[in-house]
Copies of this chain bind each other. A is one copy, B any other.
Amino acid sequence: MARADSLRDHALTLFSPLPDRIALLDGRPVTEAEVVLGRMLYFDPRLADDGATACADCHDPATGGDGNRPTSTGHAWQSGPQNAPTLFNAMLNRARFWQGWDEDLPSATLRDPFRAERIATPDRMVAVLASMPGYVAAFEAAFPGEADPIRPETAARALAAYASTLLTPAPFDDWLRGEDAALSEAAREGLALFIDRGCAGCHQGVNLGGDSYHPVRVARVPGTESLPESGACFALEEADGAQYLYRAGTLRNVTLTAPYFSEGTVWSLPLAVEIMGRAQLGADLTEAEADAITAFLATLEGRPPPLMLPVLPAETGLTPRPQVQ
């Protein structure tokens, strides 16, 4: 019991339990009208050029908040270069995107669909939204008093507001708050290893990751066939420091978010743990150790909020048609 309390005390210096809600985004209160609008946008495939790709397709709340392919496909089966991360709890991340591109929240929200997979184009998206009275009313309700409420930036704000509701409290949070039975002995052993071996050096904070960028392959080349041939996270070429600074992703819901790493090359969580141990920490974890850490990581699988689909307004004669090719 003394040991359990001491482990919890130590853990609380590195991690914190998930908040019940996110009241502020970029310093402004999240409003219900923003959330309602954001939920509409999140599930609307008509915002995409092809009329068939919603945010929820690559960041799917039914499957852990992420996609299920190594990298996402966009318009006309174009592939983006990197794995779509989970949006569950993502509004608590301070570091967004694998390579730290972004500055502010609207830019972050729009970068992916508008650039990487070329899913949507901003002008067309605005025209789609402005063509439907149901959206005009929803934007006016979310952004009262604005002369020109339908803009990419307001859409991004509403999407971020909706995403801020996608919090998934987990057994680990229950345990951090004092519920001893929430973590099995194996999970507590895994947690102790997770801290002792240095995993928590990058995967810390409320999201156990998602708040900082780190050079990859700081220790040595991982000896496994699971490496991608080129580029990105585990490049075999000599790394240029800046180029190979990558985000430590959140480990919340990691049991649900395979495939792993920035290129989505590894499907097994224990294998991903082993690779990280060797590549980043120079630690040859035994299978038992990797399994214990995996048992701990499983306690980060959270309880999503009720996920309701919106009922979206009908398109009108003014709505741009989807691009068929």
Asked whether B62 lies within 8 Å of A44 as measured between CB atoms, the reply is: yes
Query: In chain B, what residue has the closest Cβ to A298?
Result: B314
Q: Which residues on B sit within 8 Å (CB–CB) of A223?
A: none
Identify which of residues 272-325 in chain A touch chain B, using a CB-to-CB cut-off of 8 Å.
Answer: 301, 304, 306-312, 314-315, 317, 321-322, 324
Interface centre among A62, A69, A324 (most CB of B within 10 A): A62
Q: How many residues of A contact B (CB 8 A)?
A: 42
**Contact flag A64-B268 (CB < 8 Å), given A51-B69, A306-B308:** no
Given A309-B62, A309-B309, answer yes or no on A67-B52 (Cβ-Cβ < 8 Å): yes
Cβ-defined contact, B311 with A308, below 8 A: no
Q: Does A57 contact B (CB under 8 A)?
A: yes
Residue of B nearest to A52 (CB): B69
Which stretch, A70-78, A144-152, A234-242, touches the partner chain B?
A70-78
A interface, over-half SS = loop
Tell me the residues in window 48-96 of chain A with beta carbons closer than 8 Å to chain B beta carbons: 50-52, 57, 60-64, 67-70, 72-73, 76-77
A-B contact pairs, 27 of them (CB 8 A): A43-B62, A44-B62, A44-B63, A46-B68, A52-B57, A52-B69, A52-B72, A52-B73, A57-B57, A61-B309, A62-B309, A62-B310, A63-B312, A68-B315, A68-B322, A255-B314, A256-B314, A259-B321, A267-B315, A267-B317, A267-B321, A268-B317, A304-B311, A307-B308, A308-B308, A308-B309, A309-B309
